[in-house]
Amino acid sequence: MTAEVETKHFQAETRKVLDIVINSLYTERDIFVRELVSNAADALEKFRHHSLVEKVEFDEHVPLEINIDCDDKKHILTITDTGIGMSREELETNLGTIAHSGSSRFFEQLAEAAKKDVNLIGQFGVGFYSVFMAAKMVRVQSRPASGEEGHEWASDGAGTYTISPAPGLHRGTKIIIELKEDAQTYASKFTIERIIQQYSTFVPFPVKVEGKKVNTVQAIWSRSKNEISEEEYNEFYKFIGNAADEPLYRFHFNADAPLAIQALLYVPKENFEVLGMGRMDPGVNLYCRKVLIDQHSENILPEWLRFLKGVVDSEDLPLNISRQSLQDNSLVIKLRRVLTKRIIKFFGEEADNDPAKYQEFWRTFGIFIKEAITSDFEHREELGKLLRFESSTGEADEMVSLDTYVNRMAEGQDSIFYINGPSRAAVESGPYVEMFKKKGVEILYTLEPIDDFVLNHLGSYRDKKLVSADRADLDLSKAVVPQAEDSAAADAAPQEEPLAQDAIEPLCAWIKEVLGERVNAVKPSSRLVDSPAMIVNVDGYMTSSMERLLKASGQDGFGMGSKKDMEINAASPLIKKLAALRQSDADFAADLAWQMYDNAKIQAGLDVDSMEMVRRNYRILERAAGN
């Protein structure tokens, strides 16, 4: 009796992926060979490591290699590896389901990427399915390293696959591909040799086509820098990073003390997290003496460096260390610290050497530096050096570092000032920068919602406190800017005569009475120039932008953001008129006070009761139109 053949349906997500792969990819079919060879290499790496950690009893002397056979009569391509292999269950889960989140966004992005550049497909962890670009039938025969009997998985890529026992296999995986009519070139050994040379030269195991080795096995990172060409470096990046283009930065670094480290790291051109692919897996592999110990290692670098691709090799590590024990191995922790410091330093040097290129890096990966500041306490100050913001002194789009800011700070200034807002234009037209402009004191514009959160974490830089300009206790009096005050004042229109002290105080008290509990206090301002009013925060941590951030993340339930003052400008014509109006028409004056308060809140980026505001606004407009 023939052994039981089971027919199964692909998971719905897998069918979608197959659909995208088969129907939207017409060009660059070559890459399926690369994907299968890279899977074979992964399987060999896994076996090599497995054999170091555990005793292998089955097929222990079979050499670690990849064999490719081309039958150009029958149009069959066969790729065989002697790697870790797959059990029946593994065949099903690995080749029948998608490990990734099967969100609709994932599929959109995959379809999009597939149209744009087939090479991107490897990044999505669905490389195996690319075989169906060229195959009308695929059989995967696999036997796990444990020696447990093997199985065959077979499919034409339509809706189903079969699984059946396949006795008598060697350890590893054999993929037998029956080629489509228009893909028969892949049964030619010349085609395959060309593809291996193009994409897979760095595979660290022999790749043999019809028995002849076609790749040069080499650990590029262990060679000396001046022996490696630009091209080799870039090719290695494409290999290790599954990338199609060139990297943005490359960092090849060797050290002997305190630890022996060889690291070859790359920064890609694109941030795949913002491309909608969810959180990236780490992209750096950990080796010990050229043996892969931990692929996509979560231990060798801090999480925020997950955008890096490459290799770290340290001969100080024990070869037979298991993945679990890497986590709290003190040597690994030490390695991570040394590497992190070197990488941060590298970014700093790149920023000094080529600011324009660094700006490009910052726009793409700055978000990870910000994440680092909120999560990596140990390197906070060094990380602060890498931050960039727009500033009142810089041109639009020009990014300024905290060092640049501190270096040109006015005499006596003891803080680094910043203000958050949705755009440069919004910030510059708002009330918070008025006194800064007038005094010529530089202020940073933090234009991303999380920026204030990040700067709060940083706290200070080079002993200068980081202070949000919407704080109630802001003090600009110590900053002495030579001449700026005079020249700015001379340029400006003659200042209005401010409301006298004995008029402004009662006006403040009256406004407070009108607004009631909604505001903590109403005070005369020492820093408004043109605007009549502004909202300031009594608690220095809870800036308006922090409040927005908490609200956006659904954490506004603590009432934390409630303590706010309103400052009013005694020199503003509106304030002066209000002082008179409250005597003659208190109701209308109250409407104006409320409207001013709402306007100030809007300028602070805070929510207002818009329905209430519209009703009030119509009352005011009616008066303005004359009645």
Q: Site residues (CB under 6 A) for ligand ADP? A: 35, 39-40, 43, 81, 83-86, 94-95, 125-128, 173
**Toward ligand ADP, which CB reaches closer, 94 or 254?**
94
Cα separation, 442 vs 421, whole angstroms: 16
CB atoms near residue 398 (< 10 Å): 13
Closest CB 567 distance from ligand ADP, rounded Å? 57
**Toward ligand ADP, which CB reaches closer, 84 or 317?**
84
Q: Among 32-40, 228-236, 374-382, 552-560, which window interacts with Mg ion (CB under 5 A)?
A: 32-40
3-class SS shares of the chain: helix, strand, coil, % to 5: 45, 20, 35
**Toward Mg ion, which CB reaches closer, 36 or 528?**
36
**Toward ligand ADP, which CB reaches closer, 173 or 415?**
173
Closest CB 42 distance from Mg ion, rounded Å? 7
CA 57-58-59 angle, 5° bins: 125
**Toward ligand ADP, which CB reaches closer, 126 or 183?**
126
Cα separation, 32 vs 21, whole angstroms: 10
Closest CB 202 distance from ligand ADP, rounded Å? 16
Decide if 527 contacts 476 (C-beta within 8 A): yes
Burial 168-204 (b: 16+ CB within 10 A, else e): ebebbbbbbbbbbeebeebbebebbbebbeebbbbbb
Amino acid found at 553: S
Residue 18's beta-bridge partner residues?
none
**Toward ligand ADP, which CB reaches closer, 173 or 391?**
173
Closest CB 123 distance from Mg ion, rounded Å? 10
Closest CB 84 distance from ligand ADP, rounded Å? 6
CB atoms near residue 429 (< 10 Å): 13
Closest CB 166 distance from Mg ion, rounded Å? 22
Closest CB 124 distance from ligand ADP, rounded Å? 8
Closest CB 65 distance from Mg ion, rounded Å? 18
Cβ-based neighbours of 510, under 8 Å, separated by 6 or more: 582, 593
Residue 43 interacting partner from ligand ADP, Mg ion, none (CB closer than 5 to 8 Å by kind): ligand ADP
CB atoms near residue 621 (< 10 Å): 9
Cα separation, 337 vs 181, whole angstroms: 55
- Find the binding residues for Mg ion in span 73-132 (CB under 5 A): 127
Q: Among 39-47, 110-118, 178-186, 312-320, which window interacts with Mg ion (CB under 5 A)?
A: 39-47
Cα separation, 205 vs 63, whole angstroms: 10
**Toward ligand ADP, which CB reaches closer, 125 or 165?**
125
Cis-peptide, bond into residue 167, ω within 30° of zero: no
Closest CB 266 distance from ligand ADP, rounded Å? 18
**Toward ligand ADP, which CB reaches closer, 177 or 575?**
177
Amino acid found at 128: F
Closest CB 53 distance from Mg ion, rounded Å? 23
Residue 94 interacting partner from Mg ion, ligand ADP, none (CB closer than 5 to 8 Å by kind): ligand ADP
Residue 191's beta-bridge partner residues?
none
State the alpha helices, DSSP H only, in 186-259. 189-199, 230-240
39 binds Mg ion, rule: CB under 5 A: yes
Cα separation, 16 vs 39, whole angstroms: 21
Residue 420 interacting partner from ligand ADP, Mg ion, none (CB closer than 5 to 8 Å by kind): none
Residue 173 interacting partner from ligand ADP, Mg ion, none (CB closer than 5 to 8 Å by kind): ligand ADP
Residue 543 interacting partner from Mg ion, ligand ADP, none (CB closer than 5 to 8 Å by kind): none
Residue 126 interacting partner from ligand ADP, Mg ion, none (CB closer than 5 to 8 Å by kind): ligand ADP
Cα separation, 392 vs 387, whole angstroms: 16
Decide if 203 contacts 214 (C-beta within 8 A): no
Q: Among 20-28, 37-45, 187-195, 236-244, which window interacts with Mg ion (CB under 5 A)?
A: 37-45
Q: 447-451 long-range contacts, Cβ below 8 Å, gap at least 24? A: 447/389, 447/390, 447/420, 447/421, 447/422, 447/423, 448/370, 449/420, 449/545, 449/548, 449/549, 449/552, 450/370, 450/549, 451/370, 451/389, 451/418, 451/420, 451/545
**Toward ligand ADP, which CB reaches closer, 89 or 349?**
89
Residue 92 interacting partner from ligand ADP, Mg ion, none (CB closer than 5 to 8 Å by kind): none
Q: Tell me the residue number closest to Mg ion, measured at CB.
A: 127
Closest CB 432 distance from Mg ion, rounded Å? 52
**Toward ligand ADP, which CB reaches closer, 83 or 440?**
83
- Find the binding residues for Mg ion in span 123-162 (CB under 5 A): 127
Closest CB 242 distance from Mg ion, rounded Å? 8
**Toward ligand ADP, which CB reaches closer, 50 or 380?**
50
Which three-class secondary structure state does DSSP give residue 204? coil
**Toward ligand ADP, which CB reaches closer, 85 or 440?**
85
Cα separation, 396 vs 443, whole angstroms: 13
- Find the binding residues for Mg ion in span 458-477 (CB under 5 A): none
Residues that bind Mg ion (CB under 5 A): 39, 127
